[in-house]
Structure 1
Amino acid sequence: MASKSKVTVKIEEDIRIFIHRQIDLFLQDEHQTELDFPASLTNLHRAYIHEYVKNKRLKSKSHGKGDGRYLSIYKMSIAAVTHEDTILKLAPETTDILFELQKGYKTAGTLESSSRKQNTSRTNSIFLTSVPPTVPPPLKALPDVLDDRKRLPISQFHDIILKCGLQNQVLIISGNTGSGKTTQVPQFIMEDAARKHVPCRIICTQPRRISAVTVAERVCVERNEQLGDTVGYQIRLESRLKRTTNLVFCTNGILLRCLMGKIASKFLKNITHIIIDEVHERDQYSDFLLIALKDNLSSHPHVKVILMSATIESNTFSNYFNNCPVIEIPGRLFPIQSFHLEDILFNIDIYNNSVKDVKRKLVANLEQQNSRPQMPAIANMDDETILLMNDILEVCWIENSPEGFHSFFALIDEEIGPIDFQHTETKMTALMIAAAKGYTEIVKKLLNMGANAFMKEKHNYTAYDWACFVHGNSACSELLKSALHQSEPPFSRSLTANSTKVLLDAYHTSVGDEKIDHSLIVDVILYICRNQPEGGILVFLPGYEDIQEQFDLLMSRVSSSFHLKVFMLHSKMQTSDQHSVFKPVPQGVRKIILATNIAETSITMDDVVYVVDSGKVKQKYYDSLTSTTSLAATWISQACATQRAGRAGRTKPGKCFRLYSRTRLGAFDQFTLPEIMRVPLNEICLQAALITKDVSIHEFLNKAIQAPSATSIKQSIRYLQKVGALDDEESVTDLGYILAELPVDARLGKMLLYGILLRCYDPVLLIVSILSINDIFVIPSFAGDKEKAKKVRRELAEESFSDCFCFLRAYQRWKEMRSPAKQRDLCNRLFLSHSKLTMVDDLRNKLHAHLCSVGIVKRYGPGGAEDINEFSNNWSLVKGCLLVGLYPNVCYLEKYSKTMKTRFEKKIFIHPSSVLGEKSLKRAKDKKDNAIWLPSEWITFEEKYKSGRGSMIRCNTVVSSLLIAIFAGPLHLDESECLIECENTTDSVKCKIAVDDWINLTVEAKYARAVLHTRRLVHELFLKFIENPRTYQLSARDHAVIKSLGQILLHEDHALELTNSLEMIGAGVNRRGGCKMQDVHWKADGFRNNAHPYVARK
């Protein structure tokens, strides 16, 4: 495990914001290698920087003494870590079979994966590709539904949307939350086509599966139709469509598959409109989609493209599509009040004692001031400052430019004058002047800073009156109208700027903002329940763990008298479970929804009136140089903050409680960093290779609105070449085409293909399903249960030293329970997630059905499910399939230093949740030695991510050196290059097998050639299989090779005392041999695996 981290250093918010901004700019500059912080920082500030940079692949060092002491940070260089050569020890039985294979089975002369620009054997698994569009049926909606639709703001723009859509190939619609754009725009198009009797087929994409499903259902309700007729959806491995469907909601990834290779033209020929919704989220698929669509527009002029979002970067996207028109849809149906951290801390009762003490003093001072006669705001200002403020306001009035307000804001920031300063003669405020001039952004900024919209000048006119007199019904008047609706704010007390800073400093130096303050969220919820009218509460949290923690704390602190109904909403829930969130609750019950950013998008909950925004979102950041992922809760963008606030007030005026200050909001990025800039590009690069015609992958991705770094693209191309999906010329290989067709990540797809070829299909399919869903275990709610949870995992893992084996056993135990009630009871006892296991089961069956539908797995006969599970009991063979997919995720335990290393880390740690964690320490053969011990030096793992000063690996499996020699590395190994002869020893000639540029295995020369021969046989089989997996038939020779391979891997694991069989629970455990595998419960076709077990040969 990693060393224990220090107590988190907590500093003032403004200093923290400054430090973060400087470090972010430093990391973005590829040329800058060193950054010095000023000597004015305190010891505490420097301690914070030292701790903060641990997670940033940066080094820090302090220099100097006394007042001249300063701190510098440096970027760490990346270089491959060297390690001692591993001795490849082979069991006697293994060498016998290796020699038999070498002698009895010849290899082909060449070993290369073919590539081709076109793959005519690809089958189409995409919806409605070759079906011409039809004329939509007439609308048969109910009158009250039509009335509701007409009340939506977007209904006023019906004609202009249709007109602009007809005149332009690309159109941007920027509509605030609640405008109705997601459900109405596709209906406008469809209804217009029905009136004109014109065929149409509309594809409308959503960033998430739940959005695609719920929006499709909502549109069907509005049209009074059955889902799957005129309107349907398609998400991964699930669809509700007919040949006559006119409107299809799908995910971005689904549409992207339609634009691959030759299928693109065929698909676009039968599409009339493509709508990309929620473009502002900038996920990797939407950015990639825009490149693909832009490239295809000129050759398909009949296709109309509409981009939609609540907070779209209109100018950026318009410029990208040759200055296409933009339609702005006005604001929400009802005004929304926003309250920030300083308002919350000062006005509600909270648990934080440090803040309580400070607040008590501030309240006493405020009461003391209120007892004195009230003085005007200028009473404490000197004459010179008053004249200066007057002059600035006059300049703002005379100059016809919003830049005149810069000086005013500077004085406010320096606390020289109040935000509501009135000109001594006219009594005009800055807000009134900005309203009269029509400066919408200035008005918005002033209101956010707390400007009073109720103040009147000498003629008794407010800022709203000025906006209406000069500009009529404008954006400014709408903003001010919303502000005037806030005539009864829930928080009646306000603080001066100095008092606000004192209060915020007390909070941030006691709590900080690195983690979610769950107690404060409960305080806000209790305040709403006690003091605010009825209405649902939507709480935005970063991830599932925070949702679970918030739920537990809420349940422990809230009494039953409040009558709460709490829901959890996140993207990994099943579709049926998510639907319950949208159902109304009984009268007198308050709905509380704990959600991730999934609730920012098209999902609409009409009964939500209050939003509690943590300001955080969980995002993955990928370091392409070290292949390291860091998953962290980061601050959202200003656009997301607006989007979240917009979830309130759909049916009545709403309130948003932001758990971050106005200062922090101002420091947010304007928009979210595009996902294409911060995630692995392996899948995107493979898809780019399928789409591109005459340009390289790098050139194609450089067409993006914001192109990813050249380093990320280069590393992803190298990875795809390593796994055999691309050749040296960046052309797609046979394997690449098949992987692109599978609805799973490329590495998981490769595991599946090997599982089919090596006849251990079912356990590999199950592991792929589990890894697609993520961890099936839950974190214990009580600290006392953590040791019990670890014990459960250890028992499930047996002596396999594998987390994947543990997952399989857990699923098998769960599947044995024949009723949902028994399954839930088991989950409670074994700390398993029933919902995730159900999702795994569902995905497993859908993947199997998909493989059958495309012909890779046969429904019966040769190549059928029973046939390709012949060796499913051989866990050693299954590990080979795991390794071939997870490579290059390989870790090595050095014999002498007892430290674990990867290609780029000199020292890496095992994640605490892994079954290897305690076993590696407790199973040391020398009881006096507490160093790490494992039965083999090699571990393959699913993911490596940053944690504190070091990195951790999760989902780990110990593998033998022979497994590394056969399954790790590229498909093609040239014996003349990878076999390095060592100096002669007294008894034998040693050789090194260079599996890749990092892994070296030392073994006797005669064994080395036998091992390489076996490796070559296996990979030749795979290349033969992927040439056309739909027609591949396993010959008697190939079957004998696979059987012998399974035997030698069994012998190696037996020698290492590792579990090597996959017998079912209750089947008579025999860890060293094999046993009969019981019913594997195939839901898809009900097959039973009655294969004979492996028995080690003598």
Structure 2
Amino acid sequence: MSIPPLSNALQTKSELPIHKYKKEILDAIDASQVIIISNETGSGKSTQVPQFIIEDGCEKNKKTRIICTQPRRIAATSIAKRISEERNEHIGGTVGYQIRFDRCVNKTTNLTLTSSGFLLRCLTTSKPENLYQNITHLILDEVHEREQTTDFLFILAKEAIKWHPNLKIILMSATMDCKKFDDYFGGCPIINVPGRLFDVDILYLNDIIVNTEFENNAMDALISNQNELLLNVIKRIHTKEPTHQSILVFLPGYDDIMAQKRQIETKSEMENYQIFILHSGNLDQSRVFNPMSNGIRKIILSTNIAETSVTIEDVVHVIDAGKAKEKQYDPLTESSGLILKSISKACAKQRAGCAGRTQNGYAYRLYSLQQYEEMEEYTLPEIQRIPLTEICLKTKILAPYISIENFLNKGLEPPPRENIRQSIELLKKIDALDTDERLTYLGNHLINMPVDSQLGKMILYSIALQCIDPVVTIVSGISHQDPFVLSFDQTNQQEEATETTDEIRKEFISPIHVILFAGPAHLSHTILSKLDSSGNDINALTDDNTTRFNLNDDWTSFNHMSFQPDIDELKMLETLCNFIKEEDEVEKRKKIEKFQLKKDSISMDTIENFFNEPNVMWK
């Protein structure tokens, strides 16, 4: 595999703290299959370590193909572009990225940045051996975040090095528990990279109150109302500091972001600024990296999406609210939801590091030093606090001859036994697994659907019952918390749309009602298009053909599925159809009556026959 030589790299690369450890890192990679790199935030590991490996392969004429995972899409794309710029190359050549619905790679790409979720999807939709044979290095970056996909990849990586002696695994993070990872992989070199290029001054709540220069009688009100406190910190920075220094504000979620945005626009009396939003629902995130015109300050309101591996060069001031929303699962009630919690010390360190990437910075923590000391050292691994149905299905693809519980117990910190057993029982109940924990034909299709297993089964049932439009509309409402596109540039037209959106939110009790009100036909077409294309880019990492789920495939692909609908499920589908908002009440009544007649005549044999002869059942 030919590797283009490095040319015209930026001079600042040699100034990064990690550059002094280049030889030590490469020697450790040559000597061991697994190495751990622990460093200060901003030392340059995410952009430089992959380049060290590429340059070493070029000098020694060695085959080099690297996959580097990041916890989030924006990190994968921005780092790939940054490395390409440093190498003076176009993105998609030596360096590229591949994420869901977006790719910029070719057959000769040596370094592919991707998300951990996308890599796991590649492993479960093709033979893992094909991927391991085609790559030389697997870099797992920001492993301290401990997403469920990352923890699952730890198990796969540990198994892979047993059978692929030439595969190298590099684990990187600024705030990981190195001893825990070292013990898990059976002892491996740990390279600590001290120091950072720029300093960050950290101010806690007491310092912030003093610096805002408020009188004593206003302090209690400020402390009790964090939005007001945050607004005053932003105003002070905007009036006292140069406008080319951007402000990054970490907030728990979308509602908090929009509330703070309204505060700034209506109460701050500030001028010459522009607000940017970093949120998973914001489709246009790349604009936040663009420099501003002279005299305009950039104010970035973000969730924890900007916490790791995202370098916004002009950020000097970071304001940390100290809270984040985590998905929590309660095995007693078998329900999950987003819980507002204090962040960990590791997350606080990551957030502060965002202020000192390219110049000295300031971190304003809206909590006291005592509150910081009471925080957990690390965030609880996601695999221990969420439902495991998706992971259980993936386990049976990658390890079909071992029980799910035994496989997951190989993890760094295995999930609670009760969570595993409840997930397995649910998968058996919906016929995704048989009584011996083997994947059914239905289970094989559910793995490839980008929705929850129960919702995926609903969609497949709706094909048989010819009510796919309303069911896919329902599924889209359940799968997404908010059906509205998050556009934050308030033109007059968008301001009117926002007012309409707020009125709709008041009228309807849940996103699913909003979607049904909006009209199922258009939304169903959109969701089906996404389902149909969900696997289109998977084979680029492995260069082989993969099995893809396509709702337009021949009906015979469902011939051997074991569908066993009971009367409750059929009643549920009838109820879903009754939710449909039709413009013509007569047509609505006809549909309901027709569905009732069809439902009354449905038997298990009829449904099984439908998948052999789909056109017969509904004539």
Normalising by the residue count of structure 1, what TM-score does the alignment of the two structures yield? 0.49
Deviation at 1:713, TM superposition (A): 0.4
Which residue does 2:269 correspond to in 1?
559
Which residue does 2:279 correspond to in 1?
570
Deviation at 1:599, TM superposition (A): 0.6
The match for 2:216 among 332, 336, 356 is: 356
Q: How does 1:36-51 map to 2 (within 5 A)?
A: none
Deviations 1:395-421 (A, max 9, x none): xxxxxxxxxxxxxxxxxxxxxxxxxxx
Which residue does 2:235 correspond to in 1?
526
Is the counterpart of residue 647 in structure 1 residue 235 in structure 2? Answer: no
- For the residue of structure 1 that corresponds to 2:54, the secondary structure is helix
Cα gap change, 1:1018 to 1:341, in 2 (>3 Å): farther
Deviation at 1:741, TM superposition (A): 2.4
Cα gap change, 1:530 to 1:698, in 2 (>3 Å): same
- For the residue of structure 1 that corresponds to 2:356, the secondary structure is coil
Which amino acid in the other structure matches residue 1016 of structure 1?
Answer: M
The match for 2:141 among 277, 302, 325 is: 277
CA contact (8 A) 2:473 2:516 kept: no
Deviation at 1:209, TM superposition (A): 1.2
Is the counterpart of residue 749 in structure 1 residue 459 in structure 2? Answer: no
Query: How large is the Cα RMSD of the aligned pairs?
Result: 3.8
Is the counterpart of residue 549 in structure 1 residue 409 in structure 2? Answer: no
Q: How does 1:371-410 map to 2 (within 5 A)?
A: none
Cα gap change, 1:785 to 1:807, in 2 (>3 Å): closer
CA contact (8 A) 2:469 2:520 kept: no
Deviations 1:576-633 (A, max 9, x none): x101000001122111100010111111011000110000111111112322223122
Which residue does 2:4 correspond to in 1?
137
Which residue does 2:433 correspond to in 1?
726
Equivalent-residue separation in structure 2 for 1:676 and 1:725 (angstroms): 21
Q: How does 1:306-705 map to 2 (within 5 A)?
A: 306-349=170-213, 356-357=216-217, 510-511=224-225, 517-534=226-243, 535-561=245-271, 563-574=272-283, 577-705=284-412
Which residue does 1:224 correspond to in 2?
88
Equivalent-residue separation in structure 2 for 1:810 and 1:567 (angstroms): 33
Is the counterpart of residue 158 in structure 1 residue 22 in structure 2? Answer: yes
Equivalent-residue separation in structure 2 for 1:1041 and 1:660 (angstroms): 64
Deviation at 1:794, TM superposition (A): 9.7
CA contact (8 A) 2:318 2:363 kept: yes
Cα gap change, 1:844 to 1:858, in 2 (>3 Å): closer
Which residue does 2:532 correspond to in 1?
848
Equivalent-residue separation in structure 2 for 1:550 and 1:889 (angstroms): 46
- For the residue of structure 1 that corresponds to 2:355, the secondary structure is coil
Deviations 1:280-311 (A, max 9, x none): 00111101110111122111111100001111
Deviation at 1:1014, TM superposition (A): 1.6
Deviation at 1:200, TM superposition (A): 1.6
Deviation at 1:694, TM superposition (A): 3.9
CA contact (8 A) 2:459 2:468 kept: yes
Equivalent-residue separation in structure 1 for 2:394 and 2:404 (angstroms): 9
Deviation at 1:210, TM superposition (A): 1.3
CA contact (8 A) 1:202 1:247 kept: yes
Is the counterpart of residue 293 in structure 1 residue 152 in structure 2? Answer: no
Cα gap change, 1:1012 to 1:291, in 2 (>3 Å): farther
Which amino acid in the other structure matches residue 279 of structure 1?
Answer: V
Which residue does 1:806 correspond to in 2?
517
Cα gap change, 1:358 to 1:519, in 2 (>3 Å): closer
Equivalent-residue separation in structure 2 for 1:594 and 1:794 (angstroms): 25
The match for 2:113 among 249, 256, 260 is: 249
CA contact (8 A) 2:206 2:368 kept: yes
Q: Which has the higher helix share?
A: 2
Which residue does 2:32 correspond to in 1?
168
Cα gap change, 1:646 to 1:167, in 2 (>3 Å): same
Deviations 1:621-678 (A, max 9, x none): 1112322223122100001111100100222221111000011000000001100111
CA contact (8 A) 2:313 2:357 kept: yes
Deviations 1:1016-1038 (A, max 9, x none): 1354257x5xxxxxxxxx52xx4
Cα gap change, 1:725 to 1:237, in 2 (>3 Å): farther
Equivalent-residue separation in structure 2 for 1:542 and 1:153 (angstroms): 32
Deviation at 1:773, TM superposition (A): 4.3
The match for 2:124 among 260, 267, 276 is: 260
Equivalent-residue separation in structure 1 for 2:52 and 2:301 (angstroms): 34
Equivalent-residue separation in structure 1 for 2:126 and 2:358 (angstroms): 47
Cα gap change, 1:650 to 1:728, in 2 (>3 Å): same
Deviation at 1:319, TM superposition (A): 0.9
Equivalent-residue separation in structure 2 for 1:164 and 1:263 (angstroms): 29
Deviations 1:738-766 (A, max 9, x none): 22123443334334434445555566556
Which amino acid in the other structure matches residue 524 of structure 1?
Answer: V
Name structure 2 gaps, 5 residues minimum: 491-495, 538-546, 557-562, 580-588
Deviation at 1:1042, TM superposition (A): 3.8
Is the counterpart of residue 193 in structure 1 residue 57 in structure 2? Answer: yes
Normalising by the residue count of structure 2, what TM-score does the alignment of the two structures yield? 0.84
Q: Percent identity?
A: 42
CA contact (8 A) 1:203 1:275 kept: yes
Deviations 1:27-58 (A, max 9, x none): xxxxxxxxxxxxxxxxxxxxxxxxxxxxxxxx
The match for 1:1039 among 604, 615, 618 is: 615
Which amino acid in the other structure matches residue 724 of structure 1?
Answer: D
CA contact (8 A) 1:608 1:647 kept: yes
CA contact (8 A) 2:470 2:520 kept: no
CA contact (8 A) 1:169 1:304 kept: yes
Which amino acid in the other structure matches residue 806 of structure 1?
Answer: F
CA contact (8 A) 2:33 2:169 kept: yes
CA contact (8 A) 1:540 1:594 kept: yes
Which amino acid in the other structure matches residue 75 of structure 2?
Answer: S
Equivalent-residue separation in structure 2 for 1:788 and 1:533 (angstroms): 38
Equivalent-residue separation in structure 1 for 2:600 and 2:423 (angstroms): 27
Deviations 1:166-187 (A, max 9, x none): 1000000112111111111111
Equivalent-residue separation in structure 2 for 1:889 and 1:632 (angstroms): 34
Equivalent-residue separation in structure 2 for 1:723 and 1:565 (angstroms): 50
Cα gap change, 1:796 to 1:172, in 2 (>3 Å): closer
Deviations 1:367-394 (A, max 9, x none): xxxxxxxxxxxxxxxxxxxxxxxxxxxx
Equivalent-residue separation in structure 1 for 2:238 and 2:529 (angstroms): 44
- For the residue of structure 2 that corresponds to 1:737, the secondary structure is helix
Equivalent-residue separation in structure 2 for 1:187 and 1:229 (angstroms): 14
Name structure 1 gaps, 5 residues minimum: 1-133, 360-502, 512-516, 813-839, 865-880, 892-934, 941-959, 968-1006, 1025-1033, 1044-1098
- For the residue of structure 2 that corresponds to 1:260, the secondary structure is helix
Cα gap change, 1:548 to 1:174, in 2 (>3 Å): same
Equivalent-residue separation in structure 1 for 2:187 and 2:569 (angstroms): 44
Which residue does 2:604 correspond to in 1?
1016
CA contact (8 A) 1:202 1:273 kept: yes
CA contact (8 A) 2:123 2:131 kept: yes
